[in-house]
Amino acid sequence: MCFTEKWGPLFLKVINVIFLVFGLALIFPGVVMLANNDVVNSKVLPLMKQLSFGGINLGDMIIALCATLIVVGAFVILVSIFGLLGACTGKPAYLDIYGGVVLILFLIKVFAVFMWFDSNDKLQSWMKTQLVSQLNNYGANDLATSETSTAWNYMFMLMSCCAVNAVNGTTNDFDTSAWITSGAAATKQIPTFCCTGVTESTYSTHSDATCTDNVASGYHTTGCYDAIYNSLTAYYIIFIAVGITIMVVEALAVVAAVSNNHNARYNETTVDKVEDISNDKKSKKEKA
């Protein structure tokens, strides 16, 4: 046996308390992402939903990720509670189910971590290409003309970014946008929303040629691709770190469950044998 009868149940209880904490840790970033007012924003999501990857748009992917974190976290909490019941009662049936569920969770997380590292580079390349393509549809330096332009303008304000790639001067990603090619931009080289300090209520009266026309100073120097990717990566890192830690805990939990199950079955068998021997002796005495 890997664990003694004394320490096995205690170890399993500790493991499941840790499980409980990590279940909450998975729910937290999902809730934070949904509550965050940048990428997951009703004004920005229309743009995210125009970015399609393998038939699924980025907006739905972000919402799905948030929901997945919350659902998985809740499931981990339920499993931990089930494990605590098994550890407290010592019933083999509880431990059998618990060990099987934890093993399945472990394999799913191994697959998810592998897929993330395998597709990360492809995702980066796809997202930048899609964003550049959508920026070509940018056509208005306001919050009323079109949904696409409005989504971009909110992104510039909320994420403190400009264009897709970092803007370094008058030659930038906006050069091929409908806003520039149609002449709607006039002398401007970047939208007013790229200027620092601009808000939803001040953009219409904001005037700073140094920012919009000369692109010399006073604008967001971070490209929106980097802003989006860094924002998403921050949550992915939390998910991966917590996921890997949970995987280690799950491996220990499976070992603990198997050991406790073995102990429980061994005790049941031992008790049955003792009772059988006792009954045999009693029967012999009665016959004598």
How far lies 33's CA from each of 29, 156, 226, in Å? 6, 18, 17
* E-only strand ranges, the chain: 52-53, 56-57
Q: Which of 26-40, 74-88, 149-163, 176-190 has the lowest mean pLDDT?
A: 26-40
* CA of residue 227 relative to chain centroid, distance: 17
Please say whether the beta carbons of 74 and 248 come within 8 A: no
Looking at per-residue confidence, does 122 or 71 come out higher?
71
Element holding 78 (H helix, E strand):
helix 58-89
Q: What's 44's DSSP letter?
A: T
Phi, psi of 69 (to 5 degrees): -60, -45
Q: What is the pLDDT of residues 246-279, one digit of tens each?
A: 667 666 666 666 665 555 554 544 444 444 445 4
Tokens (6 digits) for 37? 């007012």
Q: What's 166's DSSP letter?
A: P
**Rg of the chain over all Cα atoms, to the nearest angstrom:** 29
pTM: predicted TM-score of the whole model, two decimal places: 0.64
Q: What is the pLDDT of residues 196-248, one digit of tens each?
A: 999 999 999 999 999 999 999 999 999 999 998 887 776 666 666 766 776 67
